[in-house]
Amino acid sequence: MSKVPALNKERRFPLNMTSAHELILKAKNGVKGNKTSGRYALPAFNVTTYQGIDAAVGAFETLGSSGVLAFSNSALKHFGYGDAIKGLERVHEYVKLVARDSSVKIATHLDHGDYISEGGRKVLQAAVSTLTSVMADNSTDHKNKKATSLEMNIEATREVVEMAHPLGVSVEGELGVLAGVEDEDTHSEVSTYTDPQELKVFLEKTGCLLLAPTIGTMHGPNKGKPGDVVKLNIELAHECLKIANSINEDIVFVAHGASTLYPQVVEHAMAQLKEMGAISDAANTWRDFVGTDWKQIEGLIGAGFCKINTDTENRQTYLASLLAAIKQGPAKIDIRFFEKATYEGLYKSYMQKLIMAGNYGVWHEPKIDVNSFKFEL
């Protein structure tokens, strides 16, 4: 097999934009400005609206954070009113404009791209020529809802690396099957742990520098029953890190399903529902949400998982903020009133996770005192 191309680091992206890998490697090495300190992580925020992009970038700028904006296939379809390629072009132009005036560096990433299905392949190819980073999730055949063979995963991922690396676009692979529901294209009932030996072969043969091994995290808002603590395999994570470092120290891991969920957001939403007389099934659903335990995510960050994907908790914050605004102004005929409420909720939700992950003061000093920041709606 011929050698896989290395990531082209000379590629010039639009102003203030760069590959996700460059930013995530800085986090693995603890680099902030000219200084090196402890390892931190980049929460990759799944954005589905222009407001989501604005709120995330607003939070990056307040804190001087490195930013990853993640777009799933279904989010791109939403942006493009049913056409993912059109959505891709739109968000690319929009983020380019926002980044131009930004004080930080931003990466755009295709979340759960797949090179197995024909439709997925088209989106992935278009993403390679528009975004700065892509995920090639070929561990699952999402259409037929089954795991792919290691050989098939390697072959498909390697093809993506061959296409993306010369353009400076980083590639994230996935190994193992992650349980939970992420969106219409990404769901699985069962989860399997990544086999360290397979990890070695996968990294050597694909040349990808970002990898999501499965170590027990789950997608979606129900990561167990209420009261459960999701158990992650930190020992396996360290074993994987050792192998990855022996191949290439530039390899960084990714944790999917890293939403911790915020109790104050759940309480806030339930209070609104109750006051609106709508407490019943909806409130019970809120009560059943279970996130990933943050202490264990910190354990993963220690093991080189420096991109942590969060989506659910921000969706919850959005809805909780919207419910409060509706309760406050049920007859307010002004879209801006509701938009302002959801923007502020999202902005604070993003800031909270950036601070928890230690991703601040990377490009400039934070504009607020991070130690006294309190996330309240």
Contact residues: Zn ion, CB under 5 A = 256
**Strand 180-183 to strand 186-188: parallel, antiparallel, or no bridges (unpaired)?**
antiparallel
Smallest separation (angstroms) from Zn ion to the CB of 316:
17
Which residue, 32 or 77, has its beta carbon nearer to Zn ion? 77
Smallest separation (angstroms) from Zn ion to the CB of 219:
5
Alpha helices by DSSP H, listed for the chain, are: 20-28, 50-63, 73-79, 84-100, 118-128, 150-164, 196-206, 234-247, 263-275, 281-287, 294-302, 312-328, 335-356
Smallest separation (angstroms) from Zn ion to the CB of 278:
31
Which residue, 105 or 256, has its beta carbon nearer to Zn ion? 256
Which residue, 21 or 256, has its beta carbon nearer to Zn ion? 256
Smallest separation (angstroms) from Zn ion to the CB of 174:
8
Taking phi over 0 as left and psi of -120 to 50 as alpha, with beta for the rest, 199 belongs to alpha
Smallest separation (angstroms) from Zn ion to the CB of 78:
17
Smallest separation (angstroms) from Zn ion to the CB of 314:
14
Find the residue with minimal CB distance to Zn ion.
256
Question: Is 32 in contact with 370 (CB distance < 8 Å)?
Answer: no
Smallest separation (angstroms) from Zn ion to the CB of 135:
8
Which residue, 256 or 307, has its beta carbon nearer to Zn ion? 256
Q: With b meaning 16 or more CB within 10 Å and e meaning fewer, what string describes 191-219?
A: beebbeeebeebbebbbbbbbbbbbbbbb
Which residue, 188 or 296, has its beta carbon nearer to Zn ion? 188
Q: At 70, phi and psi to the nearest 5?
A: -105, 140
Burial class (CB in 10 A: 0-12, 13-18, 19+), 319: middle
Smallest separation (angstroms) from Zn ion to the CB of 315:
14
Question: Any idea what DSSP says for residue 2?
Answer: P
Burial class (CB in 10 A: 0-12, 13-18, 19+), 222: middle
How crowded is the C-beta side of 159, counted as CA atoms within 13 Å?
13
Which residue, 52 or 64, has its beta carbon nearer to Zn ion? 52
Q: How far apart are CA 342 and CA 317, in angstroms?
A: 8
Which residue, 179 or 325, has its beta carbon nearer to Zn ion? 179
Which residue, 92 or 256, has its beta carbon nearer to Zn ion? 256
